[in-house]
Amino acid sequence: MLTSLRPFCAALAAAFVLTGCATPPSAPIDINLVALNDFHGHLEASKFTYAPTPGAQLVSVQAGGIGTLAAALQAWRAQDRDLLFVAAGDLVGGSPALSAMWADEPTVTALDMLGLQVSSVGNHEFDQGRKELLRQQHGGCDSPRSDKACKFTPNFGGAHYAYVAANVIDKRTGQPLLPAYRIEQVKGVKIAFIGAVLKGTSSLVLASGIEGLAFTDEAGAINAAQADAKAHGATVFVVLIHEGAHTDEGFDEPDCSKLKGPVVDIANRLDPSLRLIISGHTHTGFQCRVGTRVITQAEMGGHLLSRIALRVDPASHALRDITVHNVLMTPGAYPPVPAVDAYLRSVKARSDSVLARPVAHIAVRSIGRTFDAAGEAPLGDLAADAVLAATRSQGVRIGFMNITGLRKDLDVGADMQVTYGHAQAVLPFSNTLVVMDFSGAQLRGLLEQQWPDGITEPNRSMLQVSQGLSYRWNAAAPEGHRVDRILVDGEPLDERATYRVAANNFLAEGGDKLPMFRQATHKADTGIRDVDAFSDYLAALERSGHPAASNVPAGRIERVPGTN
């Protein structure tokens, strides 16, 4: 009976093949990614302000923290054990004191605990130079931050996740400093994660720390890496780039369409196979489509995570579709991960005695770093005055502070007590103060350099100035002639005179697109850390009976009314 049925079954099977019904088509392969950017060492939850719907009143919530991120990742891995966790740079640098005081080693360890697999570098990975970046990747204690490195644990092992950067080139070898990409095989699919950092990184970090490195065109480097990764078997390609854009759409607006900025311009020059771009740098949350590409960003500080689903063709392993959902990281939303929570408690316990050390009292609850229409911020005034106070004995008449060096507002509790932790949060880079000489003409030239690239609004290059210097500027005036009415100690600037000034070592090397600093003469690094100068100045104000009290700009910078 069975033998007699075999010819019939064979004929029936052949009929199904001929009609396309022999076997159902293979199901697509679904691959899940989670992306993070600009974490900046935020081990604890911090304030996130956003509009719940377009035009709605802003709300502020606590979001993020390694415990919250670990809990979310644990829940999502329960749904897909092959989930990949990736990032787009600035994982460290500009960090709160809890991480910065230990050379960001706790953040590297925490991200390993969270299962991070690969990240592009960001500009802040270069804050302490090439040497420190490589130490953070490979481990060890030989660090330019010898006062902080290996102090939390005696044998720092480095990151288990891989940094990638296609466009950071060692000039000596002509090769990338780090791998250009990393291939991960998931569910049989080879995915290449290609890294890049903004080509303007050299203007954002200490020049001495990146000597011998070139930051090349992002799109060209990414395209070359894609071709190489394809030759090594990759069929799906993801760009991890520390460069960004902005949109006024909500962080969770599906397929947002109004994205504008450098990463869009880069995307338009990429190979068509590069359809997913995970971005950073601009601290903006978005999930946008630009032509055939999806470009995402998850704000900063771990406030959001981007959940990204890739649908892959089962036969060709080519990417079919991409969906993205930015998720607010609300503490308590998922069951905790006890090991991560315990690690955070251990970091806080080790840190509290230092961070809780009282510095001084101030007379207001908050002194902010948001600048006014002229480009002046109350916290900028205070920090620049601290630079001047710390170096006045060396003949300095003017102190400068870069607004990008101020990472947090100075916020205190009801007791009005500033602790070392507060000060460290404001100035986390531990830059040192450098004194130098400018001619009056050079000083004028420096002030004229504050509007690079045709910008005529207050921007990241706006210097915060100490008491003793004031000036007026006009956005409608031609480039190079925007500044007038410059006064030094109440007297008009003498272009032939010599003025002793002070700034941090980042500015002294021409950072923030202010190359005039490089022309200063008789430079001397005082070795005084900016955070110590700031703390000492706050204490001196309290002792004088006039604690820091202003939460409005001092009016040292004036903008001609009516200019755009």
pLDDT digits (tens, 9 = 90+) for 540-561: 999 999 999 999 999 999 999 8
In whole angstroms, what is the distance from residue 516 CA to residue 347 CA?
41
Q: Could you tell me which residues are beta bridge partners of residue 469?
A: 488
| Average model confidence (pLDDT) across the chain | 93
Where along the chain do the CATH 3.60.21.10 domains lie?
Answer: 29-347
pTM as predicted: 0.82
In whole angstroms, what is the distance from residue 451 CA to residue 334 CA?
46
Give pLDDT tens digits for 354-363.
899 999 999 9
Q: Which of the following CATH numbers is that of domain 358-559: 3.90.780.10, 3.40.50.300, 2.40.50.100, 3.30.9.10?
A: 3.90.780.10
Give pLDDT tens digits for 369-409.
999 999 999 999 999 999 999 999 999 999 999 999 999 99
Strand order in the sheet with 84-87: 162-164, 118-120, 84-87, 29-36, 304-312, 319-328
SS3 content of the chain, % helix, strand, coil (to 5): 30, 25, 45
Interval 111-126 mean pLDDT: 97
pLDDT of the residue at 456: 83
In whole angstroms, what is the distance from residue 503 CA to residue 465 CA?
10
What tokens appear for 333 in the block? Answer: 């939303």
Handedness of CA 413, 414, 416, 419 (dihedral sign): negative
pLDDT of the residue at 564: 61
Confidence of residue 25 (pLDDT cuts 50, 70, 90): low
pLDDT of the residue at 457: 87
pLDDT of the residue at 47: 87
Give pLDDT tens digits for 280-294.
999 999 999 999 999
Interval 425-454 mean pLDDT: 93
Interval 250-272 mean pLDDT: 96
Confidence of residue 23 (pLDDT cuts 50, 70, 90): very low
Cα–Cα distances (Å) from 515 to 187, 414, 466, 474, in that order, read: 50, 42, 20, 21
What tokens appear for 372 in the block? Answer: 């006014």
Strand order in the sheet with 213-215: 175-176, 168-170, 213-215
pLDDT of the residue at 563: 64
Fold of the CATH domain 29-347: Purple Acid Phosphatase; chain A, domain 2 (3.60.21)
Where along the chain do the CATH 3.90.780.10 domains lie?
Answer: 358-559
Sort strands 293-298 and 276-279 into parallel, antiparallel or unpaired: parallel
414 within 8 A of 405, measured Cβ to Cβ: no
pLDDT at residue 68 greater than cutoff 90: yes
